[in-house]
């Protein structure tokens, strides 16, 4: 069930499964063009596979949440990680988060875990961006050339699909964002870390995984075969199995 909650002066759409905030809780952060409903049944499957409560939310300007800003600044990922995400966790009394982020949401998860703002039990990234590379820019440019069709598809999930698309594509292609690079802070991540990417990701090279595992010795890197950028659509069963086994290995007390 999805409801609107006041967070940081905005109404954010939030969906929960299970008793969030009572012990370890999975918190899922969607991609740059994503939303709660675009996770499909992945949150439900994660709840079933792990026995843990799950919270997902639409960031401002996405899905059914309030609009927020109409244009992103170059620090938009950091602001979400260091300002909004902690407030969401506080609003739901989640003090033992397990972050699962996809694409932009994965970058947000890494920024948060490398900061003093959060102390997650574990972080799982899917198709994270750790710096701006040409493959990512090419992917965004290809999406922009197909804007009309993508926005039409997004209209089923977002109140303001045109704004969501333009805000995302414009900042990724803006020269001010070219300096985005979080590699220098990754060694501050101490919690268990799983880094996943499809082997056919149209927005990234393998360096998005290797760049993390080279700087975080305890990180586990996984490439999923026959899989593009949206892993929970292309290989959902394999993705859930990999995440479940990883969480079991951390001793967090999920369903055996």
- CB count within 10 Å of CB 73 equals 12
pLDDT class for 1, splitting at 50, 70, 90?
low
For residue 204, how many other CB atoms are within 10 A of its CB? 20
Residue range 39-49: mean pLDDT, rounded: 96
Q: Return the closest-CA partner of residue 27 out of 49, 63, 54.
A: 54
Model confidence over 171-208: pLDDT tens digits? Answer: 999 999 999 999 999 999 999 999 999 999 999 999 99
pLDDT average, residue stretch 11-31: 96
What angle in degrees, to the nearest 10, is found between the helix axes of 236-249 and 42-50?
40
pLDDT digits (tens, 9 = 90+) for 119-148: 999 999 999 999 999 999 999 999 999 999
Check: CB of residue 37 under 8 Å from CB of residue 29: no
Q: The domain 2-249 is classified under which CATH number: 3.30.160.340, 3.20.20.110, 3.40.50.1820, 2.30.110.10?
A: 3.40.50.1820
Quick count: other Cβ atoms within 10 Å of Cβ 150?
Answer: 16
Question: Domain ranges in the chain?
Answer: 2-249
What is the per-residue DSSP string for 97-143? EEEEEETHHHHHHHHHHTSSS---SEEEEES--SB--HHHHHHHHHH
Q: Sign of dihedral through CA atoms 42, 21, 31, 1?
A: positive
Q: Give the three-state DSSP class for 181.
A: strand
Using alpha carbons, select from 133, 115, 126 the residue that is nearest to residue 29.
Answer: 126
pTM comes to 0.97
Q: How far is CA 126 from the centre of its chain?
A: 7
Which residues partner with 98 through β-bridges? Answer: 26, 122
């Amino acid at each position: 069930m999805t409801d609107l909650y006041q967070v940081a002066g905005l109404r954010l759409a939030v969906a929960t499964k299970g008793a969030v905030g009572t012990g370890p809780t999975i918190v899922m952060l969607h991609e740059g063009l994503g939303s709660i409903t675009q996770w499909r049944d992945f949150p439900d499957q994660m709840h079933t596979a792990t026995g843990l409560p799950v919270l997902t939310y639409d960031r401002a300007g996405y899905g059914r949440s309030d609009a927020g800003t109409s244009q992103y600044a170059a620090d938009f990922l950091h602001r979400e990680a260091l300002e909004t995400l902690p407030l969401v966790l506080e609003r739901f009394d989640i003090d033992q988060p397990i972050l699962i982020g996809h694409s932009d949401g994965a970058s947000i998860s890494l920024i948060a875990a490398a900061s003093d703002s959060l102390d997650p039990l574990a972080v799982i990234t899917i198709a994270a961006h750790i710096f701006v590379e040409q493959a990512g820019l090419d992917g965004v440019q290809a999406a922009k050339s197909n804007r009309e069709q993508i926005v039409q598809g997004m209209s089923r999930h977002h109140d303001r699909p045109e704004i969501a698309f333009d805000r995302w594509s414009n900042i990724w292609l803006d020269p001010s964002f070219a300096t985005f690079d979080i590699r220098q802070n990754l060694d501050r991540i101490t919690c268990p870390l799983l880094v996943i990417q499809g082997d056919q990701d149209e927005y990234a090279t393998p360096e998005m995984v290797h760049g993390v595992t080279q700087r975080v010795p305890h990180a586990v890197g996984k490439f999923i075969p026959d899989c593009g950028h949206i892993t929970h659509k292309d290989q959902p069963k394999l993705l859930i199995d990999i995440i479940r086994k990883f969480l079991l290995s951390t001793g967090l007390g999920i369903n055996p």
